[in-house]
Amino acid sequence: MKGIDIKYRGVPALKNLHWEVKDGEKWHVRGRNGSGKTTLLSLITLDHPQSWNRKISINGVQRATGKTNYFDTNKFIGFTSPELHAIFPKKLTVFQTISTGYIVGSYIPPSADQLSSEQVEKINKYLHIVELDHLKDSKFGEISVSNQKLVLLLRALINDPKILILDESLSGMTDEDILKGKSLINQWNKGCVLVIGHVDHEVPKCDKYILMNDAKEGIYEIGDV
């Protein structure tokens, strides 16, 4: 991002933001509520009206209306958040929930014949790693909230995204599930990771941070963790 300015009704939300994230880096996006963290992430996922901005480049390619579209961009992004958790269909099975991670922008699971044997095996492998094999056929809405959030983390990871965005992804989970989630994220090496989290023990290990408390003033603190 090179000199990003975002305003709401003339009031700055982000001012003159210059920020570069490299492949393999894990960033903790810090700041109090209302400091612009969600705005920042929505620019990346094309959920913000000003996402189509030539001042934003991914893999060296500038964003621009007409040559950047939501589905192509989000093929390479894995995402989980409290908002996603709140609206996610509760009637899907755990397996189906994770399988929707293979389809961009959809909460409708692929049918059995749409999934390759490798994709099925990968879902089963992830469930085994976090010891949720026994819940594979359970309804998403009938398992514990902590397990639900762990399943949504698997959904975010399943398609090997180049950008993994974790907005409060481990909040409200049991200590055991937090450790499982952290272990998965710590071993993640497919791309970069952007983490929002306010409680220290719920934040996976990061190597860099950006502090956004004064984003409205165009002041950012960026450094190593």
Give the number of other CB atoms < 10 A from CB of residue 47: 14
Backbone φ and ψ for 194, nearest 5 degrees, come out as: -120, 120
Q: Which letter does DSSP use for residue 189 in this model?
A: -
Q: Which letter does DSSP use for residue 93 in this model?
A: B
| 84-111 pLDDT, tens digit each | 999 999 999 999 999 999 999 889 999 9
Structure tokens at 166: 């974790």
Give the number of domains in the chain: 1
Nearest to 197 by CA among 223, 220, 158, 166: 166
pLDDT of residue 22: 96
List the single range of 40-49, 64-73, 74-83 with lowest mean pLDDT. Answer: 64-73
3-state secondary structure of 56: coil
pLDDT of residue 68: 79
Query: How far is CA 73 from each of CA 1, 67, 78, rounded to the nearest angstrom?
Result: 16, 11, 11
Give me the mean pLDDT over the 159-168 stretch: 96
Enter the pTM of the model. 0.95
Residue 87's domain spans which residues? Answer: 2-224
CATH number (domain holding residue 19): 3.40.50.300
As a whole number, the mean pLDDT across the chain is 95
Give me the mean pLDDT over the 112-127 stretch: 97
Q: Is the pLDDT of residue 194 over 90?
A: yes
